[in-house]
Structures are given as structure tokens and as C-alpha cells.
Structure 1
């Protein structure tokens, strides 16, 4: 089968998923441990008939489970040009994310695969096992110039699937061998497995890590980001990374107005106490399909706060659920957005988290070698 322009080679079996024709709302019993409430069809389906592709299962299938396909990418480094972002390139070992964060702004990317940004995003995953090999080839390309590669900016490289596949670790091994700088963002405590590599890279100024914490309330976290390690477990990961010499940034992201923003100062203080050296924040973003998915989630899990949360969101985006304009999409605008920004600035100064992270080293980069390469004399 073809996903986009890339061929899918294998399918993991023994999984339970929904048909395309099942409808949008899925029963709570079947989606236990998932974030989205529904599974609206991809916007690229255009209402066409969809033949069985091997995902379909009988109506009495029970609990939704994760299914994984493999993709052989032609390229792995994605170059971005956005004034809102502090990097110009990224890589993604996986498509989709089993963490299931209901607010994830990357959900709409699943529509490009002909899959739903709803439950498909967290149950129909794509692994890219050739990513380390393709990365090696691209780092060896004539004229390549090193700059920090961001990982985790779309889907989490330390989602549960990484324990089985190890694609992220293999990519780190390539980057370490090439002395290439990398900036990692994750919610996954599985990053601790790679402390050996990260510690060595940190000693050479080649890595920094951002750990995202949205709330300290474990009950709310379990509803909102159902397969993410608990907030306390993420704080423990910050401690372990810091003890290994890895610079860690506490990311209070996303801040959800009238739901999690009252915790902003407490999150920052907990991150500081755990060992974070700096902090950042981003306002809730609801692009494309994320907005209706998030509204459904509010109505089911916090119905008494749903209207207030969305009123604040629209207040910060000119009456809309989302404003995609650069300079506004990450922060919002208006009195409420300014208040959160002021609270953040005051808190990070008080906690000593306002220092800029040191720049990553690019001057050590050497193209990775392959068997048969002539050894350099100098």
C-alpha cells in the first residue's frame, strides 16, 4: 500500500481498530486509555468509497488497540521556515502518537495519510525503521552544513512504540557519531534509556532536552494525555537527565486557559526543583481538526468548564478557535494572553529559570563514515 509517496512494507497484526465506516463517536468502553472521543474521516477522503485495506475487523471487536505500519522514507530531514520556531530542520521517527494527547497540534498531519486525526492518530501508527540509514545518507550529502536538528516537534520520539522499535536511539547513535547537535522535546520517561548517549553528547555541547508538563494533576493528565507518563514521573525524568549533565528545559505547554493555566507557577516551581535549568510556555493551539476534537473532549470530561475554556480561547484568537498567523499562534493576544505571559515572566525570574540555554555546538560535526570509507589522515 502507498501512504503519500512512501511505500508501506509491513503491518503488525493482533490489533483491534475501527473501520472507516464505524462513524465518528466511539463508545467510552472501546476507547479506554485513548484521548480522542471520535474518529472523523480524513478531510482528503472526499466522501469516496473506501475498500477494506486490512484494518477492518468485526463489529464485536472490543477494546481499541494500536496497529503499526512501516514506512520507507526517501528523506528524513524536514526543513522548516517559520519565524515562530528556533530551528530550521527536524526529523520524525514515527507518524502518529500513542500518547493520545487530545490537544496535540500534530493530529491534522494524519489526514495526509488518509487517516483520521481523531482516534486513528493514536491507534494507527507509522514507524520509519530506515530513518537512521536515511539520516546517515543525508548528513553525508555534499554541501550539508550542520545546525541543530529538532526531534519531537511533531510526534513524540519516546512514545510507547519506541521501547519496541528503538528507532530514536538508532538516530541518536548516528548523530553522536557525527558530532551533530540535537534538541529533543518529549513527554516520555523512556528518554532515560538513552542517558548514556545523551550524557556523552551533553559533555560536548551537542544536546539539550525539553520536557513538557501540562498539569500537575494526575487525574486530569490521565484524561487529557492518557498514555503519557504521570506528571511526577516526568519530573523524575528531569532529575535524572539533569544529574547526567543534560541541560533540561521545563516546557509548561500547552497552557489551557481556565483549565491548566492556574497551575503555571506551580509547574515551573516543580520543574526547577526537579533540576530544570530554563523554562518556556506555549498557549493551547487548535488547528484544523484539533478544535472539534478538543471541544468533544471538554464536553465529555469537564462539561462544567467547557464553555469558559472555549470562551477564553476565542477571546485570544479574535473570536475564532485558532489563529494561524505567525507571532500569534503560539501565544494568542488580548488581556488574558498578556496576563499569562506576565505571570510566566515573573515566575521564571523569581525561580531563576529565565537564563537562555547555551547554544549547541556545530563546529564538531563530521559527516558519518560508512564501511569502506578511506580513513582520514588528519
Structure 2
């Protein structure tokens, strides 16, 4: 079994399922992993930037992901398998080889100006976090928000990054026009668990401070308990909802842990390293809630699970949400009627 690397979630770098060759980290002379792995930035010029979604399990039709891969290193991240499409591993590569979408703002403006474009709210952060550490200096998310603001285009953000408070000027102005909402992802109030579960994400108190800052600025904020993991963080469900409500959250949602493709092996490896005494019990409860498997991709159950344990989680969530005054899974409605394509150089202006 591999030893954990400082600041990284995955303990290994398994080969992706498509490539005939393996992408691995070079070992040092004694055969051990290096103590640290530097983040590699890979620049990409995307041909399109808005993704469309028809899943009945998610509350949006359009999304944008400024980055592929995520330096937060959350071991449970359902997006890890997507790195295999880039000849990279869903393991350590996912959190150390980050694809940066250069020119994303320019591409977004082109798509919003298309004559056949129909305005529907856009979600940032549907796959990987738009406020991961690289955003501090790459500012891809900030550039996208500036375009959305000029077009008065509605958007929502899902993040666990406290860097979102940097953009309060834009978010507050858009929220005043009912064009913006935010969901802050929470997994634990325990800093020690956070350090292994999602090593480079903001700490729990920092996220609560972000909820308060957004709320004080007039931005509607909700909390997303994602994921809830049996015998790891599910005992904190009520405490996380109470703390989030006290910080100003208005609504709440949750996701039962999902382990698609390579994530199952990576998560099992993490359990064996950090919680060996309960690893089998954790996996047994997950399988009981996933029709006997580690993952069930069917719509209607993939976000919530099924069976007695999943039903108990759902009941606890409903009771706690009501107790702390949080609307369950009902986010603030966003306006689409204010969308307006701003004039640009060379446009013929109206005579009226």
C-alpha cells in the first residue's frame, strides 16, 4: 500500500482505461514516491466552452468548467475518471496535471453572441472547482464572470474554494439583479478529516466565513453536503447544516458518495490507509445503498442511493433542514429576461 503524499488526496496513479501505456510518477532511487509533487499546468484553447446537460438529477441545463482536473485533491471526486480522456491518470494526475482553458472568456462571448443562443442559467463548477488554487493567478473564472456580467446572464456557482470572496464585487451586483446564486460544498467540520479527504480545499471554518461574507453582500447562498460518506462524515450531517444556517445559508442539498470507475479503487486505497479498522464496514454500507455495487449510475438513485441506510440519511437531512430553516434543494430562481447582448465595435446601432 502506498503512503500518503503531503497535500495530495490520491495515494497512487493508476493507468487510465484507454491508453495502452501507463502514465506514472518517476520513483526516486530507493523506489519510494517523492515527498511532494509539483502541480503541472497544461494550457488548452477550447473550441467550445458551454456544456449542455439533460440529466434529470441535476438542476441546470448549461455549465462551464474553467479547468480540467482539480488541485483540491478530493479523494471522492466523481470527475476523476474524466482525466483518462486526456491520456492522464484519474489518480495523482487528476490533482497534479491541471488543464487550464485559456481564452475561455473570449470563447464564451462568441457563444453568447450567436444568433441562435437561448439564455438559460449557467452553472460554474459542475465538474471541477472554479476556485481551485490555480485560479488565484490564472483568473479564468473571474474573466468568465466579467463576461456574464456584461451580458446580464444568470449563473450559479458550486465551490468549496474561499477564493470566491475575491469576486464579491461582481457577485453582489449580479445578485441584486437576481442573476446569481452560490452553493458552498461542505464535507466536514473536522479540520483533520478535511486534510486527508480534500487536502488543498479551504478549511471548514473558512468556508463558513465565505457563506457569511456572501450572505452579507446580498448573494443568495446554499450549502451542499457533498458527498455524505457512511461512517466517515455522515455523523456530522446535522452539525454541518446547523453551522451553515448560522452562517447565513438559505437552502441545502446533499449527495450520497458516488464511486464511478477508477474512483472506487482510489477510495478503497484511501480507506485502507487512513481508516483501516472500518474500511470494510464503510464499503459494505455503500454497497448496500448502491444495489450491491460500489456505484449505481441510474438516474433517480445515483445522487441519493437506495435501501435502509440511504433512506435514513434522507430522513435525517429532511428533519435537520426543517429544524434549521433551510429550504431543501430549492435554490433561488434566476432571471433570464434581463439577458442583453452588448454592442461591439462595428455593430450597426438602432435608430430608435
Pick the TM interval, shorter chain: over 0.9
TM-align CA RMSD: 1.6
Question: Aligned partners of 1:56, 1:272: CA distance in 2, in Å?
Answer: 43
Q: Counterpart of 2:71?
A: 98
Partner of 1:171: 144
CA offsets per residue over residues 171-207 of structure 1, 9 Å max, x none?
Answer: 0000000000001000000000000000000000000
* Per-residue deviation, residues 257-279 of structure 1 (Å, max 9, x unmatched): 12111110000000000010111
Q: CA deviation at 1:41?
A: 1.1
Distance of aligned partners of 1:49 and 1:333 in 2 relative to their CA distance in 1, 3 Å threshold: closer
Aligned residue in 1 for 2:9: 35
Contact 1:183/1:208 (<8 A) preserved = yes
Do the aligned partners of 1:136 and 1:368 also contact (CA within 8 Å) in 2? no
Distance in 2 of aligned mates of 1:302 and 1:143 = 52
TM-aligned CA distance change 1:62 to 1:282, over 3 Å: closer
CA contact (8 A) 1:253 1:283 kept: yes
Tell me how far 1:368 sits from its aligned partner.
4.1
Equivalence for 2:245: 272
Q: Which runs of 4+ in 1 moved over 6 A?
A: 55-58
Asked if the contact 1:174–1:368 (Cα under 8 Å) also holds between the matched residues in 2, the reply is no
Q: Distance in 1 between matches of 2:22 and 2:73?
A: 28
1:131-210 to 2 correspondence within 5 Å? Answer: 131-210=104-183
Moved more, 55-64 or 322-331: 55-64
Q: What is aligned with 2:297?
A: 324
Mapped pair 1:114 → 2:125: no
Describe the SS at the equivalent of 1:303. coil
Distance 1:128 1:376, change over 3 A: farther
- 1:298 corresponds, among 271, 279, 289, to 271
Counterpart for residue 283 of structure 1:
256
Q: TM-score, normalised by structure 2?
A: 0.95
SS of the residue corresponding to residue 63 of structure 2 reads strand
For residue 156 of structure 1, give the secondary structure of its aligned residue in structure 2.
coil
- Cα separation, 2, equivalents of 1:295 and 1:187: 23
Q: Is the 8 A contact 1:259 1:305 kept in 2?
A: no
SS at match of 1:209: strand
Distance 1:202 1:119, change over 3 A: same
TM-superposed CA distance for 1:307, in Å, is: 1.0
Residues 377 and 176 (structure 1 numbering): CA distance in 2 closer, same or farther, change over 3 Å? farther
Distance in 2, matches of 1:144 and 1:346, equals: 41
Q: Secondary structure at the match of 2:232?
A: coil
CA deviation vs aligned residue, 1:79-133 (integer Å, no higher than 9, x gap):
1110111111111110000000000000000000010000000000110121100
Shift of the 110–49 alpha-carbon distance from structure 1 to 2, 3 Å rule, reads closer
Deviation of the 1:49 alpha carbon:
7.6
Deviation of the 1:48 alpha carbon: 3.9
CA distance in 1, matches of 2:234, 2:36: 33
Tell me how far apart the structure 2 counterparts of residues 157 and 226 of structure 1 sit (CA, whole Å): 16
| Residue in 1 that maps onto 2:230 | 257
In the alignment, structure 1 residue 220 sits paired with structure 2 residue 201: no
**1:44 aligned residue (9, 12, 18):** 18
Find the aligned partners of 1:244 and 1:363 in 2 and give their Cα distance: 23
Q: From the superposition, tell whether residues 315 and 196 of structure 1 become closer, same or farther in structure 2 (CA, over 3 Å).
A: same
Q: Out of 254, 277, 285, which is 1:312 matched to?
A: 285
TM-score normalised per structure 1: 0.89
Q: How many angstroms does 1:361 deviate by?
A: 0.4
Q: Is the 8 A contact 1:107 1:290 kept in 2?
A: yes
CA distance, structure 2, for counterparts of residue 171 and residue 376 of structure 1:
28
Task: Report the CA distance shift for 1:377/1:109 in structure 2 as closer, same or farther (over 3 A).
Answer: farther
Q: What CA distance in whole angstroms lies between the structure 2 residues aligned with 1:273 and 1:205?
A: 23
Q: Does residue 1:338 correspond to 2:338, yes or no?
A: no
Which segments of 5 or more consecutive residues in structure 2 lack a partner in the other structure? none
Mind listing any 5+ residue stretches in structure 1 that lack a counterpart? 1-24
